[in-house]
Amino acid sequence: MNNVVNVIDTAADMVNLARYPIADLDTAEGAAFAKQCRREYLETGLCMLPDFIVPGARQILAEEASAISSEAYFCKSTHNAYLTEDNPEWSVQDVAKRQEQTYVGSVAYDRIPDDAYLRRLYLWDPLKDFIGSVLGKSEFYRFADPLGACSINVFVDGGEHGWHFDESEFTVTLMLQAPTSGGAFEYVPKIRGRANEKEIVAAVLDGNRNGVVELPFTAGTLLIFGGQQTIHRVTRVSGRRARLVPVLCYSEQPDLKNSESVRMLFWGRTGNEAGLRA
């Protein structure tokens, strides 16, 4: 009898290394795999790795996230697709005048226990180095934000994220738990900067489905996504089971954090409060 194979403890136990050799990027096989991922990211605007997390770890991570989902801070906002302030000089026809709705919760990094499996995964250097290579970064660090380094997005009944381009160049997410219904991730790849960008955005906001791609929500998938070039949304969630998606943040500079105003917006506090958590 040997039960050792089923034990999940470290990040290396959680990742499907047989399919995705991310810990061996200095071998020929690992380097070829990373190169293929890089090509996929450049060509399509995203790199999607289904079954990245092995089934046993998926369940552990989902239960862990679910157990702390009540710690989420919820933010309801109205925004345009560019996440910019309104400008009175824009014409009323300007697509940037159009408003979208977002209602999403986020469990801050400092609410994720020190021994959490998600934290072990985030703090694992081979994962960081692999993501950096997919994004083509020579310098790549985990984000130093006390709240936003690695957080968990929580979409409860009525939760949604309206159409937008991200402010950050890339986003890394882990699909952990699909909601009872809704919560589809939809996008129109790589339209930023095209001559007809605004026409495409207007059509998408009007509900035109031309070019809209829906990404299946499969638990255990890692997604590296270039959200600055690709308009995207999460459709409205309904039902009792929440949509749970950890967001792993990185930076090209060490010690980079969100501004305090961004932290106030997403988590209702700055994370500088002394003595709240050991």
Least distance from Fe ion to the Cβ atom of residue 96, Å: 17
| Piece of 63-71, 85-93, 224-232, 257-265 that binds Fe ion (CB under 5 A) | 224-232
Nearer to Fe ion, 21 or 159 (CB): 159
Site for Fe ion in 134-153 (CB under 5 A): none
Question: What angle is formed at CA 85 by the lines to CA 80 and CA 91, rounded to 5 degrees?
Answer: 75
CB of 123 to Fe ion, least distance (A): 24
Name which of 64 and 160 has its Cβ closer to Fe ion: 160
Q: Nearer Cβ to Fe ion, position 20 or 170? A: 170
Could you give the 3-state DSSP secondary structure of residue 218?
coil
Distance separating alpha carbons of residues 83 and 51, to the nearest angstrom: 32
Counting contacts by CB under 5 A, is residue 166 touching Fe ion?
Answer: yes
Q: What six digits make up the tokens of 158? A: 């009525």
Cβ-based neighbour number of residue 76 at 10 Å: 11
Give 276's contacts (C-beta < 8 A, 6+ positions apart).
none
Alpha carbon separation from 48 to 68, 105, 122, 134, 207 (Å, rounded): 26, 24, 17, 11, 25
When binding is defined by CB under 5 A, the residue of 159, 227, 246, 271 that contacts Fe ion is 227
Rounded least distance, CB 227 to Fe ion, Å: 5
CB of 248 to Fe ion, least distance (A): 14
Q: Are 82 and 47 in contact (CB under 8 A)?
A: no
- Whichever of 21 and 227 has its CB closer to Fe ion, that residue is 227
Instruction: Tell me the closest approach of the beta carbon of residue 21 to Fe ion, in angstroms.
Output: 29
Give 24 or 186: the residue with its C-beta nearer to Fe ion. 186
User: Do residues 168 and 228 touch, judged by C-beta distance below 8 A?
Assistant: yes
Footprint on this chain of Fe ion (rule: CB under 5 A):
166, 227
